[in-house]
């Protein structure tokens, strides 16, 4: 049994869905309801995954650990295929995720309305450029890593929802929208959403 510390709608949701895809039992714990969470992660951020005595932090590290442990890491016998998957994973985790992080930073750090909106607009334009890259890739591929849905697609589906939290309009592209619609219908992703909503309602 894994224990996953999460926040509703945060990037931890993609790992939650991955655990369901892998058929792994998981207990989810809302970070805000967990006493002593900073003892697990000094930054106070999610996701954090516990596997018995092992505590893992950082989303990409957790994903790679789970895929490796359960024999689901793409391209294990193909260095080129594995590198392609890792590149898409790192683009999502280290490029697109921080770009959205700027929106959260602006909301907290800039209080003057006009300056804040200008900063939001600039950040949104940068994010939109990144989605253009994803959209171009999806023009010739069903999902970001090929014909099959992967955890990378689920990460992108989580990030895409964050734009709605801010006064910005981020265009995603028709191919991205098509991919996101398929992720939202994916049973493991739907279960992760439902589990989080049920726990919040309890």
- pTM as predicted: 0.95
Let me know whether 124 and 36 are in one domain: no
Tell me, what CATH number does 42's domain have? Answer: 3.40.30.10
Give 10-residue mean pLDDT values along the chain (202 residues): 96 98 97 93 96 96 96 79 94 98 98 98 98 98 95 98 97 98 98 95 82
Let me know whether 176 and 196 are in one domain: no
Alpha helices in the chain (DSSP H): 12-21, 37-40, 59-69, 79-91, 97-109, 113-138, 151-162, 174-184, 187-201
Q: Which domain holds residue 20?
A: 2-72+188-201
Q: Identify the CA nearest to 130 among candidates 161, 85, 160, 167.
A: 160
DSSP string, 142-160: SBTTBSS--HHHHHHHHHH
**pLDDT reported for residue 79:** 85
Let me know whether 180 and 92 are in one domain: yes
DSSP H/E element including 26? strand 26-30
- Please give the order of strands across the beta sheet that includes 48-51: 26-30, 2-6, 48-51, 54-57
Let me know whether 89 and 123 are in one domain: yes
Let me know whether 168 and 195 are in one domain: no
Let me know whether 9 and 59 are in one domain: yes
**pLDDT reported for residue 75:** 66
**Count: domains in the chain:** 2
2-6/26-30 β-pairing: parallel
- The answer to whether 5 touches 31, Cβ cutoff 8 Å, is yes
Partners of 54 in beta bridges:
51
Let me know whether 182 and 196 are in one domain: no
Let me know whether 181 and 115 are in one domain: yes
Give the CA dihedral 74, 91, 158, 110, nearest 10 degrees: 160
Determine how many CB atoms are found less than 10 A away from the CB of residue 77.
Answer: 6
- The answer to whether 102 touches 159, Cβ cutoff 8 Å, is no
Let me know whether 29 and 118 are in one domain: no
Rounded Cα distance between 106 and 177, Å, is 26
Let me know whether 85 and 19 are in one domain: no
Let me know whether 192 and 155 are in one domain: no
Let me know whether 140 and 68 are in one domain: no
Tell me, what CATH number does 105's domain have? Answer: 1.20.1050.10
Instruction: Calculate the alpha carbon distances from 84 to 22, 145, 146 in Å.
Output: 21, 7, 10
**pLDDT reported for residue 123:** 98
């Amino acid at each position: 049994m894994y224990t996953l510390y999460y926040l509703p709608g945060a990037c931890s949701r993609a790992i939650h869905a991955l655990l369901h895809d892998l058929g792994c039992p998981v207990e989810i714990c809302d970070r805000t309801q967990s006493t002593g969470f900073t003892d697990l992660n000094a930054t106070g951020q999610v996701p954090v995954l516990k596997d018995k005595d092992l505590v893992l932090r950082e989303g990409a590290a957790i994903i790679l650990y789970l895929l490796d442990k359960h024999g689901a890491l793409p391209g294990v016998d193909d260095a080129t295929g594995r590198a392609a998957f890792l590149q898409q994973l790192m683009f999502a985790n280290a490029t697109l995720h921080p770009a959205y992080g700027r929106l959260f930073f602006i909301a907290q750090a800039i209080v003057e309305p006009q300056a804040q909106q200008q900063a939001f607009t600039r950040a949104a334009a940068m994010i939109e450029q990144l989605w253009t890259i994803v959209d171009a890739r999806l023009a010739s591929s069903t999902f970001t890593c090929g014909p099959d849905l992967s955890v990378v697609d689920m990460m992108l589906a989580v990030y895409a929802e964050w734009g709605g939290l801010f006064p910005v309009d981020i265009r995603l592209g028709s191919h991205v929208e098509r991919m996101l619609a398929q992720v939202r219908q994916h049973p493991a992703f739907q279960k992760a959403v439902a589990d989080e909503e049920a726990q919040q309602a309890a």
